[in-house]
Chain A
Amino acid sequence: MTPLAGYLLVAALVFAIGLAGALTRRNAILVLIGIELMLNAANLNLIAFWRYSPHPEVLTGMMFAVFSIAVAAAEAAVGLGLVIALYRHAHTTDLDEINRMKG
């Protein structure tokens, strides 16, 4: 197995774990944690492809990962703000109980 394949497999495993967390947990915060894990797995793919590319000095892959980290930070802030607003409105973060679109 080449080193790149090893990193890609780890990233695939972390992505699958994050997806499983986002799809199976009841708590909205844990769903957000699963989404963060998926974003991180994508970043690992970008960095690994950048490292083993023929021209790593062009920096494209690394820049993509750095911008992706910044966007993920914005997503986490808005997502957790939404969870807090939802908790104040419905008094729960259990996604199985939040099943109405209209308050």
Chain B
Amino acid sequence: MNIVFWILAVITVLSGLAAVTLKNTVHCALAVTGAFAGLALLFLQLDAQFAGFAQILVYIGAVAILVVFAILLTRGSDTPAQGVFSRTWFAGLLIAAAVFTVLGWAVMNSAAALPHENAVPTVTVQQIGQALMGRYVLPLEIVALLLTAAMLGAVIVAMHEKGEPK
């Protein structure tokens, strides 16, 4: 466990916490972008360069912008008078704490059985491309179809309804 991992872990967890606790929604979008960046750096720390850069392009480049657009289109940055947390916030917090307790307990109890440091995998982008075009070509085509359908679906769902003033 090196120091870089701990720094990245602290940045990611603190950004995630800020994203779900801050009052202003725009600040939440900024904090969640920081959490995405921390996770991308953790991917790079795990020698998964392709997944790390895909994370940066997709999440920081696309999802964060979508979230900001949605906030601005719905005037979500106004803080509601009754606070930002729902009526059932205590039950939600309890469920989340219970889930983390169980997950942490499972990880700590199996820590001795988990594999230790092994050789750094040397995976080139060429190998990934060949795998995507060979063994994983059917999932790739399905994802392409899914992304097209999702794009059309998102546009149709968010489109103005007929007869409604714009």
Contact = CB atoms under 8 A, between A and B. Distances in A.
Interface of A: 1-10, 12-27, 29-30, 32-34, 36-37, 40, 43-44, 47-48, 50-54, 56-57, 59, 62-63, 65-67, 69-78, 80-85, 87-88, 93-96
Given A13-B13, A29-B67, A43 B39 contact: yes
Contacts, number: 261
A55 to B, nearest CB: 9
Contact of B76 (A19, A27, A69): A27
Secondary structure call for the B interface: helix
Given A37-B20, A76-B63, A84-B158, 5 more contacts: A6-B1, A13-B100, A24-B85, A77-B154, A81-B155
Nearest to A17: B16
A24 B92 contact: yes
15 contacts: A7-B5, A16-B100, A17-B16, A21-B19, A24-B92, A36-B59, A47-B43, A47-B48, A51-B121, A69-B54, A73-B58, A74-B151, A81-B157, A84-B158, A88-B160
